[in-house]
Amino acid sequence: MHRSIKVFDFFSGCGGTSCGLSQAGFDIAFGLDIDKDAASTFKLNFPDAYYINDDIKNIDQKIISSLVDDLRVDNNLILFCGCAPCQPFSKQNMKKNESDPRKELLNYFANIVNANKPDFILIENVPGMQKLSTNNNSPFSYLLDTLKNNKYHYTYDVLPALWFGVPQKRERLVLVASKHFEIDLPSKLCDGIKTPYSTVREWIGSLPSISAGEKHPEIPDHISAKLSELNKLRISLTPEGKGRETWPEHLLLDCHKGHIGHSDVYGRLHWDKPASGLTTRCISYSNGRFGHPEQNRAISVREAALLQTFPMEYKFHGSMLSKAKQIGNAVPPKMAECIGTHIKNSIFNHYR
């Protein structure tokens, strides 16, 4: 049975999930995000999707219901996906606030699920979100209660992006739910990928050299941040895959002297290993292991996008810092593609 799967991408960001699901053969019908630059990026790449650039708290649910009802007329299947802002749940957030309003965003998504009852649901977020409690009622628990009350089959677990061909040490909490049948998560061998895992070299090794602060004239977004003369010296003394442990004492920051933690800061990537997990500051040499493996600069915007497995032709809108934020926040498309392929195969196996 051939049935088109229409995707409603809430908290869409720059479109990492939609990119992957599109590559898996899904149709991107709707996107929503509060960030203006991310919204512009999404619309550049999915111009046919209905888009709302606003806070999910402000949207009229009748708009969503009308779009869902129109698409169901042709016997389409509906998938809602949502990656609510992860900062309130991230272990890297040292300033967690129990009253952070972003924690409620997943509740709004759950209410939209309750009102529209999509055929499938895909949730992606940071590991630990399922453990967070606010006044003994976590947003994740509220979502699970919504799924139970609407008789969804669901499962969730923490999955390494490495399993799905993403050249990056990144783990994400993934939940999939089905209104129609039991569903599971994809296994480690999605698309036949086996160890050794995908590497930095495989994804950015063919890009031409540029200097710190230089923009390549032909490759969009192949532009790197400027470096101070001191940081140029520091990175020049850093071997591939290494960090500040290789520097002479006088080049160390005072806060790093006698301190062995945060070892990725000011580090270079290794050509033949996966990258460290990319963050919203993934083009900043001083904010992680984001130094190019051999060139004396941080990775470019395009290299960061490639390490997140965005296609080379994917377009980004905004300043360098905005693009880096969008890329760092994104779901790796290759991961979303594998999960989407798994959902699609599950549908095929159920209806054949």
d(CA 308, CA 146): 32
Catalytic option among 86, 190, 282, 338: 86
- Verify whether residue 282 is a known catalytic residue: no
Closest CA to 289 of 269, 270, 313, 310: 269
DSSP 153-164: EEEEEEEEGGGG
Closest CA to 277 of 166, 132, 193: 166
- 299 - beta bridge partners? none
Q: Cis link prior to 196 (omega < 30° from 0)? A: yes
Closest CA to 341 of 226, 211, 213, 190: 190
Residue 343: other Cβ atoms inside 10 A: 25
Q: CA-CA distances (angstroms) from residue 149 to 114, 143, 179? A: 9, 10, 11
d(CA 282, CA 48): 30
**Among all residues, which ones are annotated catalytic?**
86
